[in-house]
Amino acid sequence: MRVDVVSIFPSYFDGLELSLLGKARATGLLDLHIHDLRGWTGDRHRTVDDTPYGGGAGMVMKPEPWGLALDELTADSPSARPTIIFPSPAGEVFRQATAREFAHRDHLIIGCGRYEGIDERVFEYATTLGEVRLMSLGDYVLNGGEVAAMAMIEAVGRLIPGVVGNPESLVEESHEDGLLEYPSYTKPSSWRERAVPDVLLSGNHAAIAAWRREQQIVRTRDRRPDLLAD
Ligand code: ADE
């Protein structure tokens, strides 16, 4: 999978060189490119923002650098219609199902906005080049799209076959079956007067599976009743 990220803070993404995703990049499973939006500016100050028409607080990202960035990155795309993602608190919520959907794409382009956002015409123009998705990480406001982009790259990247060593660990985790994950324990069996639940030491695999399922349901009901309603 190819992923291109456009940001005015490319060094945010240095952390993606670590751990499993870093290995996926080194082995070529994830072809990740981070670009500085200012590379598509033409003026001496490499200006990316300006004041909003109609007034109001803050600055808006200018359309011209974004247009040039999208032209270049889509012209060189391995996909006839790349998926162009803009992190935004005004977007649809990014979920595990979205991560699964994006993991099937050949090419993701992620445009990270800052300030009060990107000139709206950029989103319209982008629909002529690919499938445009405005994605929110959740109902809170970040300073820009970078942290959201990193979260999405990690959630999608680990679903690329071969990125996570043991594919079974993908099946049993939170959200894969619509429920939260069951609790986990390791040695010692007693720690600071707290014992591991007996059933996990019983060797009875059917009883362990039933207990874990029950824990998933109890946890989901207590912590995330909205998931059960869905
Ligand atoms: N940019 C600012 N806030 C955001 C959020 N909650 N999700 C995605 N992108 C954002």
**ipTM of the assembly?**
0.97
Mutate to test the pocket of ligand 1, among 141, 146, 152 (most ligand atoms within 8 A of CB): 141
Q: Is the pLDDT of residue 101 over 80?
A: yes
User: In a 3-state reduction of DSSP, which class is residue 5?
Assistant: strand
- Furthest-apart CA atoms within the chain: distance in Å: 71
User: Whose CA is closest to 113, among 7, 11, 207?
Assistant: 7
| Burial (CB count within 10 angstroms: exposed 0-12, middle 13-18, buried 19+), residue 93 | exposed
Mean of pLDDT values over 90-108:
97
Pick the last residue of a domain from 113, 136, 166: 166
User: Whose CA is closest to 148, among 99, 221, 94?
Assistant: 94
**Backbone phi, then psi, for 34, in 5-degree steps?**
-105, 130
- Least confident span in 36-40, 44-48, 159-163: 159-163
Same domain, residue pair 140 and 178: no
| Burial (CB count within 10 angstroms: exposed 0-12, middle 13-18, buried 19+), residue 98 | middle
What is the domain count for the chain? 2
Is 79 near ligand 1, meaning CB less than 6 Å away?
Answer: no
Averaged confidence pLDDT in the chain:
96
Name the amino acid, one letter, at 214: E
What CATH number has the domain bearing residue 118? 3.40.1280.10
Q: Is the pLDDT of residue 75 over 80?
A: yes
Pick the last residue of a domain from 132, 166, 200: 166
Question: pTM for this one?
Answer: 0.94
Predicted pLDDT of residue 176? 81
Tell me, in angstroms, the distance from the centre of ligand 1 to residue 8's CA: 16
Predicted pLDDT of residue 167? 81
Q: Is the pLDDT of residue 230 over 80?
A: no
Question: With pLDDT > 90 as the criterion, what percentage of the chain qualifies?
Answer: 91
The domain of 143 spans 2-166
